[in-house]
Homo-oligomer: A and B are copies of this chain.
Amino acid sequence: MSKETASNARMARSDVSNARNALERYSRGATPRPLASAGGAGVDTLASFVESLMSGSIDVIDLTQPLSEATPMIQLPPPFANTPNWRTHEISHYDEKGPAWYWNWFEGGEHAGTHFDAPIHWITGKDRDDVAQVPVRRLVGPAVVIDKSREAQANPDYLLTMNDIRAFERQHGSLPEGCWLLYRTGWDTRANDQKAFLNANETGPHTPGIDIDLARWLASESPVVGVGVETVGTDAGAAHSFNPPFPCHQFLLGANKYGLTQLANLAKLPSTGAVLLVAPLKLVKGSGSPCRALALVQR
């Protein structure tokens, strides 16, 4: 052991002399990149990105709600079947079942907590991609954030409309190609309370959403690849009684676009300029998946 320690100490000293400018060289692209195209301005973009990331001028924001047995879950009325609550079971915890290790197994739904809706989730997308088939290029892209938290606080049934998009575009420019539309409603503050989150009464759940015309436009005409929300689903709580019902699901998934739900920390994002990283599990034939959602923002 002491021989190993001495050897490591020697290695450490030589590393210090080697390592001083390593990040700088790496960021400048001075190290070989076998798969990069030769020369050209494009070669440096990813290196500049890494440099900004390591220096903190690009920050990473977690848009994901914690996932546990307390995570609110959508509740459908009979005769529809529901997803079970998340449950965790210990396998070992530094004990006789595993002296040096702790781990669990779990039961949960594809649409539990912060999660991704794949096109195949809806009958209109039944011949489209399952969650494992979604092209990974579409999991990383620009994000715009439309904030209607004031409106949703005043009216829990608030519906985003085409007029809201027009107003946003007048202020911030047109929605960029391949973007994610993130719809802030302030609903994230209710995310640790099933009752407040679903906000149901005798007429059903009352949570903000998107109106029929806008859902159709987002699906068929907009440059948006997906819609992200803070609520339990992309559709409004009252969308069971819309015509058609659940228009976000019907139109967006039918158009091979995506949904992303139960997001956190949208208040920390700029209206434009953030990048969304959305990472569902690669569940074979999955209709969706609990996922991690992160955002990159420029400081």
B103 near A105 with CB under 8 A, answer no
Identity of the chain B residue whose Cβ is nearest the Cβ of A34 in the assembled complex: B270
Tell me whether chain A's interface is mostly helix, strand or loop, or mixed: mixed
Neighbouring B residues of A83 by C-beta, 8 Å = 91, 103, 105
Give the residue of B15, B22, B246, B285 whose beta carbon is less than 8 angstroms from that of A173: B22
Within 8 A of B (CB), among A84-116: 84, 88, 91-92, 94, 96-111, 113-114
Within 8 A of B (CB), among A266-293: 268-275, 277, 279-288, 290-292
A263 to chain B, nearest CB (A): 12
A144 to chain B, nearest CB (A): 9
Within 8 A of B (CB), among A56-85: 57-62, 64-68, 76, 79-84
Most B-side CB within 10 Å, residue of A57, A76, A162, A223:
A57
Binding site for B on A (CB under 8 A): 4, 7-8, 11-12, 15, 18-19, 22-23, 25-27, 29-37, 42-43, 45-54, 57-62, 64-68, 76, 79-84, 88, 91-92, 94, 96-111, 113-114, 120-124, 126, 132, 136-137, 139-142, 162, 169, 171-178, 212-213, 216-217, 220-223, 245-246, 249-250, 268-275, 277, 279-288, 290-292, 294, 296-299
